[in-house]
């Protein structure tokens, strides 16, 4: 007797979505923390920048490393979005049914899913703009160059929307992953679900507040610093040779 073949594609796509989502969420947690170095000092943000440019490894800086990193993240971002798109409501009727369902059930988890769909959609556009700039202008990162971009190139508003979207999306995503992978099963499922949800909300508040403070600092520098000498930050202690 011939056995019916099981189609493994949905499970594979699901795995790809989870794995790329997990990597991107971890990336963004590090990203917002490193970038908040501006809150300590310009010098620290500069040192974090040259660290990613390989200074502490090669003794010289190679901004090309940032382009490479941004391109790798961009690939993950595109794969994640492409795979996730199959779960978007396909047409207006489907959307309406889902919305009514979400409202009637007042089920927090389906509202969380809805937030993920919306923030994911927003990020496909503004996340791509940011990643493209990072990929093509890797030498223009630093306490002054970044601040100039935030203020003079009007990236502040885009970053604000991106910040809210990515933090909500990442932590709701991690919560749903934990749920899917059975981290909340155990003796008291209800209680562990509540705890994970509390953790998710705490992380969202922490990262959004931190991101807003960093953005405020970049804006402050952008408004008050005299850029007549250009946007390059000159450290008193480190003067690395820069390559591409």
Q: Determine how many CB atoms are found less than 10 A away from the CB of residue 71.
A: 13
Residue 53 engages ligand HEM in binding (rule: CB under 6 A): no
Of the candidate residues 84, 112, 155, 200, the single one contacting ligand HEM (CB under 6 A): 155
Distance of alpha carbon 138 from the chain centroid = 18
By rule CB under 6 A, what count of residues binds ligand HEM? 25
Residue 174 engages ligand HEM in binding (rule: CB under 6 A): no
Q: Using an 8 Å Cβ cutoff, are 142 and 67 in contact?
A: no
Place of tokens 């930050």: 233
Residue 171 engages ligand HEM in binding (rule: CB under 6 A): no
Q: Which of helix, strand or coil describes residue 242?
A: strand
Q: Which two tokens stand for residue 45?
A: 């943000």
Residue 127 engages ligand HEM in binding (rule: CB under 6 A): yes
Give the chain's radius of gyration (CA, Å): 21
Residue 149 engages ligand HEM in binding (rule: CB under 6 A): yes
73 versus 172: smaller Cβ distance to ligand HEM: 73
Q: Which two tokens stand for residue 31?
A: 């990203």
Residue 48 engages ligand HEM in binding (rule: CB under 6 A): no
Residue 172 engages ligand HEM in binding (rule: CB under 6 A): no
Question: Applying CB under 6 A, which part among 65-73, 79-87, 181-189, 190-198 lies near ligand HEM?
Answer: 65-73
Q: Determine how many CB atoms are found less than 10 A away from the CB of residue 82.
A: 14
Closest approach, Cβ 37 to ligand HEM, in A, equals: 10
Torsions phi, psi of 190, nearest 5?
Answer: -60, -45
Residue 66 engages ligand HEM in binding (rule: CB under 6 A): yes
Query: Closest by alpha carbon to 168, among 101, 224, 123, 225?
Result: 123
Contact positions toward ligand HEM, by CB under 6 A? 28, 31-32, 35, 66, 69-70, 73, 77, 123, 127, 130-131, 134, 141, 146, 149, 155, 159, 162-163, 166, 211, 214-215
């Amino acid at each position: 007797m011939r056995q019916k073949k099981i189609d493994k594609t949905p499970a594979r796509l699901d795995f790809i979505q989870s794995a790329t989502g997990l990597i991107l969420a971890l990336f963004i947690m590090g990203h917002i923390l490193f970038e908040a170095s501006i809150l300590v000092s310009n010098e620290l943000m500069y040192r974090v920048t040259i660290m990613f440019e390989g200074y502490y490894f090669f003794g010289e800086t190679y901004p090309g490393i940032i382009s490479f990193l941004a391109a790798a993240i961009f690939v993950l971002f595109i794969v994640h979005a492409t795979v996730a798109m199959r779960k978007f409501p396909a047409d207006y009727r489907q959307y309406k049914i889902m919305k009514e369902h979400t409202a009637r059930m007042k089920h927090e988890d389906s509202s969380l899913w809805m937030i993920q769909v919306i923030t994911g959609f927003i990020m496909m556009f503004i996340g791509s703009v940011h990643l493209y700039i990072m990929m093509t202008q890797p030498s223009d990162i630093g306490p002054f160059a970044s601040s100039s971009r935030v203020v003079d190139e009007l990236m502040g508003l885009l970053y604000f929307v991106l910040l809210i979207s990515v933090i909500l999306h990442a932590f709701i995503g991690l919560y749903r992953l934990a749920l899917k992978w059975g981290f909340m099963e155990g003796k008291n499922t209800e209680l562990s679900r509540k705890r994970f949800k509390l953790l998710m909300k705490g992380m969202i508040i922490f990262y959004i507040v931190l991101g807003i403070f960093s953005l405020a600092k970049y804006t402050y520098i952008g408004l008050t610093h005299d850029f007549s000498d250009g946007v390059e930050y000159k450290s008193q202690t480190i003067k690395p040779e820069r390559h591409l």
